[in-house]
Amino acid sequence: MAIFKRMSLKQGNTTRTNAAELSLRASIYPLCLVTILFFLWGFSYGLLDTLNKHFQVSLGINRARSAGLQAAYFGAYPLASLGHANWILRHYGFKPVFIWGLCLYGVGALVAWPCILHRSFGGFCAAIFIIGNGLGSLETAANPYITICGPPRYAELRINISQAFNGVGTVIAPVLGSYVFFKNTESGANASLTNVQWVSPIPEITDADMAFQAEETHAGTDNVSFWKQYRLFHAAFAQFCYTGAQVAIAGYFINYVTETRPNTSASLAAQFLAGAQGAFAMGRFTGVGIMKFVKPRWVFLFYLTGCIVFISPAITQRGNTGMAMLYITLFFESICFPTIVALGMRGLGKYSKRGSGVIVGGVCGGAIVPPILGAVADMHNSTAIAMSVPLAFFIVAWTYPLCVNFVDYYRIPADRLGEATIGVKNSGNDEEGVRGEPEKVGVEHAESGGVAMGEVGKM
């Protein structure tokens, strides 16, 4: 019986572990493992954008109907993040959610196989819905895990670095799709399935760990009801609007290029999409570099403002100019999603797992906005004009970075965790901070862990 107890997946949420106080060095291994998952759904998402145009061509469906792929994929996210995955996360912890998500992903891939062979768009959408549930489960666990596992002051840097590998996946997928989907072959798309096993001793994080981080930094807001966490719900709404705009632009990028750039085939446009996703990935790495010197909330405001500024000319410009505007827009989109997650979870304490599900649930905007863009494009017979739809959603999402930077109710909890010393100085190994500056250490021993924390200057 003792063996089965040790193998149990259930994790008590009232038990403190050392996961909330991991140093930079100690957090590298588990974060690298979880980052692999970011690449997984980045590849899946990038492939989805290419399939959108492929089904329009091969099945003769219009732009609005082809958005059913995005609707199925992102429509599954709230079912996972607010439903089954969030329940598993709150009752059993992070590792079971990773296993559950990978299992659903595998089932969806198996279902997709016969649907591709029989050219069934409805069946493929059903398979995408299952895959979306799997990836929604992975994202429900992976985003908060990356944010919490390690020193709180570097949460935005960690999640943006991990999400950068998501961007790498979105670059590879359109390149592959341009050679597989848009060539003159009778067989269409071929796929290969791979069994994935996840066995790893990554540290579990409990509600007590997250409450400890919030209390130690005096940034906790979990002393009021979950339903009064208004910053959280604003972040989720911003995520809904932003993700909807991002997915709509990427999903109709190939349509935009083939319509506005003369003599451009769908295959060539898919390769241009890979280039745009490359700009997206580069934007994430660049954003991480800037965040080492500038507070993430300011970087977030600048980047989302850039999205608004550069998507606007894409509505009226054509050819290489219009496409260049979309390239720059994708560059500025890069850090927005993960930074909304990190800032939205600031100070949630014991509500962090539940709150992460709400923010990730905002991804369902990717199921709503693309069909609207597709309908507007069909109405005006112009994808360029329809880019006004994501512009409108970017503007609404912009209210969140404005509040985080200029409203004390938002700004103070974000800054307190951003200046935290937890995990920056560990009594077990004499590390220096990321910037290489020596720190003044005031030792405090936590319960039984003996973790030392130091005083550091403001970021």
- The whole-number average pLDDT for the span 377-398 is 94
User: What's residue 393's pLDDT?
Assistant: 96
In percent, the amount of the chain with pLDDT more than 70 equals 68
pLDDT at 412 over 90: no
In percent, the amount of the chain with pLDDT more than 90 equals 21
β 454-455/440-441 pair status = antiparallel
pTM of the model: 0.70
Positive or negative: CA dihedral 321, 327, 330, 335: negative
Q: Are 348 and 155 in contact (CB under 8 A)?
A: no
Instruction: Tell me the longest C-alpha to C-alpha distance in the chain.
Output: 70
User: What's residue 452's pLDDT?
Assistant: 37
User: What's residue 124's pLDDT?
Assistant: 80
Exposure class string for 10-28: b at 16+ Cβ within 10 A, else e = ebebeebbbbbbbbbebbe
Give me the torsion for CA of 77, 79, 80, 82, rounded to 10°: 100
User: What's residue 114's pLDDT?
Assistant: 82
Highest mean pLDDT among 51-65, 104-118, 228-242: 228-242
pLDDT at 52 over 90: no
- Is pLDDT larger for residue 6 or for residue 173? 173
What are the beta bridge partners of residue 454? Answer: 441
Q: Report the C-alpha gap between 439 and 419 in whole angstroms.
A: 13
Out of 125-139, 189-203, 240-254, which region has the weakest mean confidence (pLDDT)? 189-203
- Which tens digits make up the pLDDT trace of 134-177? 888 888 888 888 877 777 777 778 888 877 777 676 666 555 65
CA 382 to each of CA 196, 258, 372: distance values in angstroms, whole numbers, following the listed order: 42, 11, 13
Out of 1-10, 215-224, 236-245, which region has the weakest mean confidence (pLDDT)? 1-10
Highest mean pLDDT among 104-108, 141-145, 238-242, 335-339: 238-242
Out of 54-68, 149-163, 185-199, 296-310, which region has the weakest mean confidence (pLDDT)? 185-199
CA 256 to each of CA 82, 253, 322, 340: distance values in angstroms, whole numbers, following the listed order: 34, 5, 9, 28
At position 67, the amino acid (one-letter code) is A
User: What's residue 330's pLDDT?
Assistant: 94
User: What's residue 1's pLDDT?
Assistant: 41
pLDDT at 15 over 80: no
Q: Are 206 and 15 in contact (CB under 8 A)?
A: yes
Exposure class string for 212-230: b at 16+ Cβ within 10 A, else e = bbbebbebbbbeeeeeebe
Q: Encode the chain in three state secondary structure.
A: CHHHHHHCCCCCCCCCCCHHHCCHHHHHHHHHHHHHHHHHHHHHHHHHHHHHHHHHHHHCCCHHHHCHHHHHHHHHHHHHHHHHHHHHHHHHCHHHHHHHHHHHHHHHHHHHHHHHHCCCHHHHHHHHHHHHHHHHHHHHHHHHHHHHCCCHHHHHHHHHHHHHHHHHHHHHHHHHHHHHCCCCCCCCCCCCCCCCCCCCCCCCCCHHHHHHHHHHCCCCCCCCCHHHCHHHHHHHHHHHHHHHHHHHHHHCHHHHHHHHCCCCCHHHHHHHHHHHHHHHHHHHHHHHHHHCCCCHHHHHHHHHHHHHHHHHHHHHCCHHHHHHHHHHHHHHHCCHHHHHHHHHCCCCHHHHHHHHHHHHHHHHHHHHHHHHHHHHHHHHCCHHHHCHHHHHHHHHHCHHHHHHHHCHHHHHHHHHHHCCCCCCCECCECCCCCCCCCCEECCCCCCCCCCCCEECCCC
User: What's residue 249's pLDDT?
Assistant: 94
Quote the mean pLDDT of the chain: 75
Residue 374: closest CA among 386, 364, 392: 386
User: What's residue 453's pLDDT?
Assistant: 34
Q: Are 56 and 265 in contact (CB under 8 A)?
A: no
User: What's residue 180's pLDDT?
Assistant: 52
Q: Report the C-alpha gap between 76 and 416 in whole angstroms.
A: 34
pLDDT at 192 over 50: no
- The whole-number average pLDDT for the span 341-347 is 83
| CB-count exposure of residue 419 (10 Å: 0-12, 13-18, 19+) | middle
- Which tens digits make up the pLDDT trace of 348-357? 777 777 888 8
- Which tens digits make up the pLDDT trace of 245-256? 999 998 899 899
pLDDT at 182 over 70: no
Task: Give residue 394's pLDDT band: very low, low, confident or very high (50, 70, 90).
Answer: very high
pLDDT at 286 over 50: yes
pLDDT at 55 over 60: yes
pLDDT at 298 over 70: yes
User: What's residue 240's pLDDT?
Assistant: 95
pLDDT at 359 over 50: yes
- Which tens digits make up the pLDDT trace of 28-43? 777 787 777 777 767 7
User: What's residue 445's pLDDT?
Assistant: 36
Structural tokens at position 53: 């145009």
pLDDT at 94 over 60: yes
- Which tens digits make up the pLDDT trace of 414-455? 777 655 555 555 444 434 444 333 333 333 333 333 333 333
User: What's residue 352's pLDDT?
Assistant: 77
Q: Report the C-alpha gap between 371 and 71 in whole angstroms.
A: 8
- Is pLDDT larger for residue 11 or for residue 54? 54
User: What's residue 263's pLDDT?
Assistant: 87
Tokens 């799997």 found at: 134
pLDDT at 314 over 90: yes
User: What's residue 333's pLDDT?
Assistant: 93
Residue 133: closest CA among 69, 81, 198, 190: 81
Task: Give residue 24's pLDDT band: very low, low, confident or very high (50, 70, 90).
Answer: low
